[in-house]
Amino acid sequence: MVAALGFRLGQMVLVMFGISVVAFLIFFATPGADPSARIAGRNASQETLIQVRHDFGLDRPLPVQYGLMMNRLFVSRDLTSFVNRGQRVIPTVISAIPVTLSLVSGAAVLWVLGGLIVGVIAGATRGTFVDRALMILSLVGVSIPVFWLGEVANLLTQSRWHDSWLFSWVPPLGYIPLTENPWGWFKALVIPWFTLATLYVGLYGRVLRASLIEMMQEDFIRTARAKGIGERRVLLHHGLRTSLVAFVTMFGLDFGALVGGGALLTEVVFGLQGVGKLTYEALQTLDLPMILATVIYAAFFVVMANFVVDVVFVIIDPRARNVG
Amino acid sequence: MSADAPLLVVKDLTVSFRSDEGLVRAVGGVSFAVEQREIVGVVGESGSGKSQTLLAIMGLIDSPNAIVSGSIRFMGQELIGLKRRALDAIRGRQIAMIFQDPMSALTPVHTVGNQIGEQVRAHEKVSAKAARARAVQLLDAVGIANPDRVVDGYPHQLSGGMRQRAVIAMALSCNPVLLVADEPTTALDVTVQAQILELIGRLRDQFGSAVILVTHDLGVVAEVADRVLVMYGGRFVEEGGKSSVFRAPLHPYTWGLFGSIPPMEGPRPARLAAIPGIPPSLSNLPKGCAFGPRCAFRHDACLVQLPIMRGESHRAACLLPEATRRQFAVQRPGGVEMQR
């Protein structure tokens, strides 16, 4: 178990290294993406360019440049933005993490609960009106663009019905830190949570239903029924428990991708200064150090999430325990 | 209910499935009874309706396209149409089932002990600890060498024979009055098969259970059964005491079954006798005797008239005069030549 864990951790480090190299090469060594021109600004003279190149170490061999960059990114952490002079990249990303994490975690709780409820009810009532209604609803949920849903939510809660009893509690757009004002944090995030979770409730409900229906055809379900334990227990203790594999896999990947910046649209619509919004702004201005930092940060979360999924697998499926 | 009344009485049980090819009649009106402490062997080839008969008794036919009709009375109580809750009080407790494929019969994510304990706790008010102790006891009773370890093992960690023993231990966990076993030894190798059969035979002695044993293996029936039912095309074609059926089978299909067993003595036949043709399609059964098209003894009446079970203790459904059949049966004990 410990050896397997160590093996996985070693794998993670290798993957992270690979991603940092690729990200570095894409942004700093692609022909035409001369970073010194970005730093020196428009219409800089040739001398200034050379000066900048030398100052930033951009005239050294690529491996050395990579080493310098990683050193400034992770060790001295003084890499600054090319666009907003003096803005340090790492502290900026770190300050954005709680925002994204709050948004995605809350939404994840909603979509896991919602997905389980929708999937189990639809799977158990397969072919009935309830099943069909739930599947149509979840298809609608999957199809609604998150930015549109967010804008509509804003329209209703921030202006149209903001003065009614229903939504007068909604604070203005933006993030309120959990440590400062937990209740305010909750109020500011409730609507973004629901907005972000809608798509995933539909998606997870449909996947769980399909996997549950497949599992309920298995021989061991018949054995369980023959034991006389009641259909609810058969469904939850035998059917659902064995259907969770697909669910957990999807969850790990989606959660990792969202924390890594995938919640961009929700963050922009609700004015949350999260990692997604940071990446979005950095891409617009081609702020290379910021892009590099956010890409590596995103990769870290995706890899982390995969690792957690593997650990959870071992808990939910004993068959995975003996596999190295 | 009097002490000598049959434990289980099945009357005109029919199981059909709606399908694209019309109504598929898997079981076509079978009637039989099982006495207390009796071991009944049901033989027949694949698709003859054996398993569906068992599943109907257990109330496990849950396809929305299935139609189950007739009557199944267990200890005087009608099982067909019984509410789920009442059914759950009986199955697992008074009627338990052993399934054909031990590889897929256990839930892969729960330990063997939990799965046995789950059944115990569904029917008796005992603590989780007591249920686990009972599971260890049961695993020991079915001949598992290290029950303390196996009880916490997962199905994938056990061999096929061990899993089948675990399934049997689970079936026995509440001392059922009736045990139905669907080809319990088919997936196992021969030595394990013999042990499992011995175990099933012991059940009656130790627990006083009656057993319905479904198989396509005549050797299995010869080993443990008291009475034999031969099934073909969804109906019984022959029924009688084991020795009577084995000594003098009365139905041409049973002759064919015995004929396809290699003889233990005498010269080795160049080819094993096989019944010509294939079993009938259940969606398109012949009008007369289901075995008619394959029968070497058929005459015109066989193709139009449905034979019914006739006889006293040893009965058969055949249109040939019984005297003629007795003659054939005695002529060649242990198998009847199918080619005339």
Tens digit of each residue's pLDDT (9 = 90 or more) over B109-134: 888 988 998 898 888 888 888 889 98
State what percent of residues in chain A have pLDDT above 90.
Answer: 19
Measured between CA atoms, how close is A315 to chain B, in angstroms?
Answer: 10
Please name every residue paired with B17 in a beta bridge, in sequence order, or none if there are none: B24, B66
Question: ipTM of this complex > 0.85?
Answer: no
Length of chain B: 340
If one counts every other C-beta atom within 10 angstroms of the C-beta of residue A271, the result is 14
* Count of alpha carbons within 13 angstroms of residue A217, beta-carbon side: 8
Q: Residue B336: its pLDDT value, please?
A: 39
Rounded to whole angstroms, what are the CA distances from B290 to A38, B10, B24, B233, B282?
88, 21, 14, 6, 10
Q: What sign has the CA pseudo-torsion B108, B109, B114, B118?
A: negative
Residues B16, B26 contacting (CB under 8 angstroms): yes
Torsion sign, CA atoms A277, A279, A284, A287: positive
B227 by DSSP, 3-state: which?
Answer: strand
Range with the poorest average pLDDT among A295-304, B276-285, B322-331: B322-331
Residue A76 has pLDDT above 70, yes or no: yes
Task: Quote the DSSP letter at residue B105.
Answer: S
Between B336 and B78, name the one with better pLDDT.
B78
Widest distance between CA atoms in chain B: 67
What residues contact residue A98 under an 8 Å CB cut-off, 6+ apart? A177, A178
Mean pLDDT confidence for A284-306: 84
Find residues 82-141 of chain B whose CB sits inside 8 Å of chain A: 84-85, 87-93, 96-97, 99, 101, 104-110, 118-119, 122-123
Query: What single-letter amino acid sits at A282?
Result: A
Using one digit for the tens of pLDDT, what is the confidence trace for B278-297? Answer: 777 777 777 777 887 777 77
> Residue A1: which H helix or E strand, with range?
none
Which pLDDT band, with edges at 50, 70 and 90, does A137 fall under?
A: very high
| Cross-chain Cβ contact A242/B123 below 8 Å | no
Tens-digit pLDDT profile for residues A216-234: 888 899 889 888 888 888 9
pLDDT of residue B334: 44
Residues A32-56 as b/e (b if ≥16 CB within 10 A, e otherwise) read eeebbebbbeeeeeeeebeebbeeb
Percent of chain B surpassing pLDDT 90: 2
Partner residue facing A219 (CB), from B85, B89, B105? B105
Percent of chain A with pLDDT over 70: 96
- Percentage of the residues of chain B whose pLDDT score is greater than 70: 90
Residue appearing with tokens 């996985």: A8
What's at B84, amino acid-wise? R
Indicate if the pLDDT at residue B163 is higher than 60.
yes
**CB-nearest partner of A242 from B64, B108, B119:** B108
Verify whether the Cβ–Cβ distance B108 to A319 is below 8 Å.
Answer: yes
Residue B255: band (very low, low, confident or very high) from pLDDT cuts 50, 70, 90? confident
pLDDT averaged over every residue in chain B: 81
Contact B85 A230 (CB under 8 A): yes
* pLDDT bucket at B339, cuts 50 / 70 / 90: very low
How would residue A209 be classed by pLDDT, with cut points 50, 70 and 90? very high
A183, β-bridge pairs: none
What pLDDT does A120 receive? 93
**Six-digit token pair at B283?**
């969606």
Q: State how far the alpha carbon of A204 is from the alpha carbons of A101, A215, A254, A264, B147, in Å.
A: 20, 16, 11, 20, 40
Mutate to test the interface with B, among A223, A229, A242 (most CBs of B within 10 A): A223
Query: DSSP secondary structure string, A43-96?
Result: T--HHHHHHHHHHTTTTS-HHHHHHHHHIIIIIS---B-SSSTT-BHHHHHHHH
Helix (H, G, I), strand (E, B) or coil at B230: strand
Provide Rg for chain A, Cα atoms. 24
**Among partner residues B87, B99, B123, which is closest to A219 by beta-carbon distance?**
B99
pLDDT, position A324: 42
